[in-house]
Amino acid sequence: MADLQTLQTRLGYKFHNIDLLRLAITHPSVAHEQGPSIEHNQRLEFLGDSVLGLVLTRELYLKFPDFNEGPLTKARAQMVNGKALAEQGRAIDLGEFLILSRGEESSGGRARESALADAFEAVIGAIFLDGGFDAASEFILRAFQGSFGEVSDIPNLDNPKGELQELLQSNSPEAPEYEMISSSGPDHDRVFECVVLHCGVELGRGSGKSKKAAESEAALAALNILRERTV
């Protein structure tokens, strides 16, 4: 395991209680190997997840006054999904500091996306307990500062069908087509599933309480897939 002083430098935060940082990087596999009395980072991860959500929600609310709840919620979800959090962990080489069981170590646990994402949230929880909300907020905003620039480029989530059509027709004269493929549930509580196609190729699918909602979800799924391909 790498030196904790090096990790603190990468975090840009010096702990008063270094045991909190050590706990934040202790993978649950250690307890599975050494016994349930060994503490690990799942409780700190739980705490860090809530602190992270609050800080990003406040910042999105302040930075984007023209976005309503839908786009703000989607933007936050993009920033805190497992892949995004693992990338945050990789940015500070968090994997090299993880305390793992022998089995987890031998199976590539240091590079595992879930381990990196969980440890990153646990570190946030540890900073919150050690230095308070302001310290945790400062760390989070510093880590995510590049992500806020990407938020301004998120699709018009109030009209994903229009956004998808505009995106597709910038390269092709054909418009997307929507097909309802199933419906289930009682008449008063139906759930519809829809696919969106372009030139005969399925781009995405979605479900909703109405055909319109299902089409919107399918369009949004297609937008996310298409934008990932261009990254």
Residues catalogued as catalytic: 49, 121
Q: Is 229 exposed, middle or buried (0-12, 13-18, 19+ CB in 10 A)?
A: exposed
**DSSP at 32:** H
DSSP E strand boundaries for the chain? 177-184, 191-198, 201-208
Q: In whole angstroms, give the CA distance from residue 9 to residue 172.
A: 50
Of 231, 79, 212, 114, whose CA–CA distance to 158 is shortest? 212
User: Bridge-partner residues for 191, per DSSP?
Assistant: 184
Q: Residue 164 is which amino acid?
A: L
Helix (H, G, I), strand (E, B) or coil at 26: strand
Q: Which tokens in the block code for residue 83?
A: 């892949």
